[in-house]
Amino acid sequence: MKTVFFWSVCLALSLGAARVPADGVFDQYRDLMGDDNPAVFVIDEGEELWFTAQGPKSATLEACDLGLGSGVTAGAYVRFPRYFADTNEVMDVEARLVHCMTTIQGRDLESVTAKPYSLRGDLGTEIEALVTWLAAESEGETIAPEQTHAAEREMYVLGEEIFFYRAGPHDFSCATCHEQSEMRIRLQSLPDLTSHAGAANAWGSWPAYRISQGLVRTMGWRMRDCFRQQRWPELQMGSTTSIALQTYMAVNAAGGVMSAPGLKR
């Protein structure tokens, strides 16, 4: 019954963003949904993709080291972004997946990065599915991004700088919209990402199923979309800027709990 109600609400909502309920209503409805998040299908798909041989080397991703050793997926997501000695870079989970696809599976960099995020009406991308499954492999875990290597700490400082940097036609920074609590744009509440509580809530709830789009979105996509809201040039997946901003938020969120996949309007 709950499920039937859920899907009818989903259908109604997917007919137009304008019909998405206001915040209070949305919270009630999210509570009602409980575990009925359509992201479960995407989680299954991501797991399947991890174990599917692909590319010229016809390899699965099982040899991929997400920081806890080859093939260890449980609890790996909450430690990102983190430094990897083999690439000498701080990476987010998306950049690490791309690295594994190109090195282990021998796939072409251009083709694996050509379209990381779905456009409206798409059915989801490989990156979205893999990230969603990996996040689910950390569900309930404590957010604990690595900050031991100097490069990881530098990434945080850079992220903080970018977060407060004002530019673009409206002279917006991330902080313009995300430095106070109780702020709203139209009906959408804006978390204070400089506070632990706001960052923990936000960081811990992505990837998320976006009801208005009928798709699971990753934090990398969220960054790109806020760049668009900020009227800045398109943010590239796996770029230093994207990873720096994610490091800033993840470190502010440290100690919070991973509840993804979330459910968003």
Q: Please give the distance of CA 104 from its chain centroid, rounded to a whole number.
A: 23
103 to 142, contacts with ligand HEC by CB under 6 A? Answer: none
- Residues 224, 163: Cα–Cα separation, whole Å: 13
Q: With binding defined as CB under 6 A, does residue 176 bind ligand HEC?
A: yes
- Residue 217 interacts with ligand HEC (CB under 6 A): yes or no: no
Question: Least distance from C-beta 217 to ligand HEC, angstroms?
Answer: 10
Residue at shortest CB range from ligand HEC: 174
Kindly state whether residue 20 participates in binding ligand HEC, applying the rule CB under 6 A: no
CA distance 104 to 64: 7
191 is a site residue for ligand HEC (CB under 6 A): yes
What is the residue type of 205?
S
Tokens of 237: 């997946």
Residue 77 binds ligand HEC, judged by CB under 6 A:
no
- Cβ partners under 8 Å of residue 244, min gap 6: 155, 156, 158, 159, 162
In angstroms, rounded to a whole number, what is the distance separating the alpha carbons of residues 156 and 82?
11
The pair of structure tokens assigned to 8 is 């009818």
Residue with tokens 């709830």: 205
The verdict on 37 binding ligand HEC (CB under 6 A) reads: no
| Token pair 């040899």 in the structure block, residue | 63
Q: Please say if 10 is a catalytic residue.
A: no
Residue 181, interface with ligand HEC (CB under 6 A)? no
What is the rounded CA–CA span in Å between residue 152 and residue 45? 31
> CA 31 to CA 165: how far, in whole Å?
36
Of residues 154-173, which lie at the interface with ligand HEC (CB under 6 A)? 172
**Of residues 195-214, those binding ligand HEC (CB under 6 A):** 201-202, 205
Of 123, 104, 127, 103, which is closest to residue 114 (Cα–Cα)?
A: 127
Catalytic hit among 10, 64, 177, 226 = 226
177 touches ligand HEC by CB under 6 A = yes
- The residue (of 62 and 122) whose beta carbon lies closer to ligand HEC is 122
Least distance (Å) between residue 115 CB and ligand HEC: 21
Which listed residue (82, 178, 217, 224) binds ligand HEC by CB under 6 A?
178
The residues carrying an active-site annotation are 226
Q: Which residues bind ligand HEC (CB under 6 A)?
A: 172, 174, 176-178, 185, 188, 190-191, 193, 201-202, 205, 222-223, 226-227, 229-230, 245, 249, 264-265
